[in-house]
Amino acid sequence: MRVIRPGADNTEALAWLERALGHARDRGQKRLENLLKIVRADVVFEMKLGTGALDGKPSSDGEIGGE
C-alpha cells in the first residue's frame, strides 16, 4: 500500500481511498470499510468546496451542493 504524501491533491487521495475500500471489502473488514467511507465523504466534500459546487441547494441525491 502506498502512503499519500502531505499536500497531495484530493483526486489522488480519493483514488487511494477507493483502492483501500476495495481491499477492506475483499477481506471482510467492515469497521475499516466504514471508517474509510467517512474519510472518503470528507475528501469529496473538500473537493466540492474547492470547485465551488456547494451552492446550498439540495442535490438530486439529497446531499447539499446543487446539480
Residue 14 lies inside a defined structural domain of this protein: yes
Q: Compute CA distances 28 → 13, 25, 34, 53, whole Å.
A: 22, 5, 11, 34
Report the C-alpha gap between 12 and 44 in whole angstroms: 12
Domain of residue 23, residue span = 10-51
The count of structural domains within the chain is 1
Q: Which residues fall within 8 angstroms of residue 42, CB to CB, at 6 or more apart?
A: none
The per-residue pLDDT for range 4-56, each reduced to its tens digit, is 555 568 888 899 999 999 999 999 999 999 999 999 999 888 888 877 766 66
The three three-digit cell numbers of residue 20, written as one number: 483501500
Q: Which one is predicted more confidently, 57 or 33?
A: 33
Residue 26 lies inside a defined structural domain of this protein: yes
The model's pTM: 0.65
Residue 23 lies inside a defined structural domain of this protein: yes
Residue 57 lies inside a defined structural domain of this protein: no
